[in-house]
Amino acid sequence: MNVHEYQAKALLREFGVAVPGGELATTPQEAHAAAARLDAPVVVVKAQVHAGGRGKAGGIKLAKSAEEARDAAEQILGMTLRTKQTGESGKLVRKVYVEAGSEIARELYLAIVLDRAQEKFAIIASTEGGMEIEEVAEESPERIVTVPIDPNHGLQDHQVRQVAFGLGLDASQREQLQGFVAGLFRLFLEKDASLVEINPLVVTAGGDLFALDAKLNFDDNALFRHPDIAALHDPDEEDPRELEAKQIDLAYVGLDGNIGCMVNGAGLAMATLDMIDVCGGSPANFLDAGGGADKEKVKEAFKIILRDPEVKAILVNIFGGIVRCDLIAEGVVAAAGELGLEVPLVVRLQGTNAAEGRKILAESGLDITAAETLAEAGERAVAAARGEA
């Protein structure tokens, strides 16, 4: 789960990590008041959306007075921000963060991540703050310092020293970095973060360190033990269909094709998208209905799939292991009937009780194309979407 910059900075403050003063505003008037309270020579007005690249897209503006901050907020609030990360459709800005500006001497990069390959945590730091770390890794990997941390030993002082020397910090800054990284690491562990990224980490003209931008990512699987983090979730930042699917325990990802998919199991669901592509078609979504796909679940899944106006056909692909295909078939028939399904439906049933399931589909009186193999399913769904079935 992602959170906004303003939420990330509140958490950093809670864990003793230095951040500039700042306030959230949802109207130009609030931005004016916030800037006046901050009483800094320069403030920065920043669009709060879950996406990087905000500056280039016009979502971050400098202001030298409260009036200028109000004008900047006026321009940013309500705009649709299009960055590399948001794609064409962009994101509507509903909130801005007004933050005290600072004199920047150096911009650095610092992150704590889970290193999947090493099965450890790692501190990643670079002298190239403000750039995406992937870009630095590509262009000048020698400017990146990576220090692994054993999950059961925790953070050691010498590891932070290694980072500090790698960044070329002086004695006072090295001392500051110990507290800074210790706070980040405590946040990482105590809140089950999967990414804590400070980019840039700033060294001011006065030699102080603080976090100018912050990106926090939390492990969805651990939210059950962090109600405070779960409460930071902003539904406005998510695809409404993905949100709705999540509420009924379905994994859904919207795509830009026209064949709606309902599959049991994540791997088979990904493979079904691949199959459609191999057959020359284009999937409208990923949808993993999970193990127990009964009538109600099938119905809800169909509803979510059909909310996408591009959908010209639906492919149901079930490999019945423990799930019995005849029960799934009953669910599909009932759901299709109750919803008065108008797009062509291709159903592939395989595994436990598949023959019985196909019989139920054939005798339903509904216009359902049955398929036995994965290849047949793909071909028939693609033909149906083209209006050839």
Q: What are the residue numbers of the active site?
A: 109, 197
CB atoms within 10 A of CB 62: 12
Please state, in angstroms and rounded to a whole number, the distance separating the CA atoms of residues 182 and 354.
Answer: 57
Cα–Cα–Cα angle for 152, 155, 161, rounded to 5 degrees? 150
Kindly identify the residues of this chain, within the stretch 77-106, that bind another protein according to CB under 8 A. Answer: 85
Give yes or no for residue 59 binding another protein (CB under 8 A). Answer: no
Give yes or no for residue 144 binding another protein (CB under 8 A). Answer: no
Cα-atom radius of gyration of the chain, to the nearest Å?
Answer: 26
Residue span binding another protein (CB under 8 A) among the ranges 11-19, 111-119, 172-180, 307-315: 111-119
Q: Which of 378, 382, 383, 385 touches another protein (CB under 8 A)?
A: 378
CB of residue 212 to another protein, shortest distance in Å:
21
Residue span binding another protein (CB under 8 A) among the ranges 73-81, 207-215, 281-289, 308-316: 281-289
Give yes or no for residue 109 binding another protein (CB under 8 A). Answer: no
Please state, in angstroms and rounded to a whole number, the distance separating the CA atoms of residues 124 and 93.
Answer: 30
Please state, in angstroms and rounded to a whole number, the distance separating the CA atoms of residues 211 and 203.
Answer: 9
Residue span binding another protein (CB under 8 A) among the ranges 58-66, 159-167, 257-265, 293-301: 257-265
CA distances to 144, 160, 165, 166, 262 from 127, rounded to whole Å, are 7, 15, 11, 8, 46
CB of residue 255 to another protein, shortest distance in Å:
7
Looking at the Cβ atoms of 14 and 192, the one nearer to another protein is 192
Q: Which of 133, 261, 345, 360 touches another protein (CB under 8 A)?
A: 133
Q: Which of 167, 286, 329, 331 touches another protein (CB under 8 A)?
A: 286
Residue span binding another protein (CB under 8 A) among the ranges 99-107, 332-340, 356-364, 373-381: 373-381
Please state, in angstroms and rounded to a whole number, the distance separating the CA atoms of residues 5 and 44.
Answer: 13
Six-digit token string for 336: 């299709």
HSE, side-chain direction, 13 A CA sphere, residue 62: 7
Looking at the Cβ atoms of 34 and 149, the one nearer to another protein is 149
CB of residue 312 to another protein, shortest distance in Å:
18
Please state, in angstroms and rounded to a whole number, the distance separating the CA atoms of residues 24 and 11.
Answer: 14
Q: In this structure, what is the dihedral angle of CA atoms 300, 301, 304, 308, given to the nearest 10 degrees? A: -140
DSSP for 229-264?
Answer: HHTT--GGGS-HHHHHHHHTT-EEEE-SSSEEEEES
260-279 mask for another protein (x: CB under 8 A)? ---xxxxxxxxxxxxx-xx-
Give yes or no for residue 172 binding another protein (CB under 8 A). Answer: no
CB of residue 44 to another protein, shortest distance in Å:
26
CB atoms within 10 A of CB 228: 9
Give yes or no for residue 151 binding another protein (CB under 8 A). Answer: yes
Give yes or no for residue 281 binding another protein (CB under 8 A). Answer: no
Residues of the shown chain interacting with another protein in the complex, contacts defined by CB under 8 A: 85, 114, 116-117, 119-121, 133-134, 150-152, 189, 192, 194, 219-222, 224-225, 251, 253, 255, 263-275, 277-278, 283, 286, 288, 319-322, 350-352, 373-375, 378
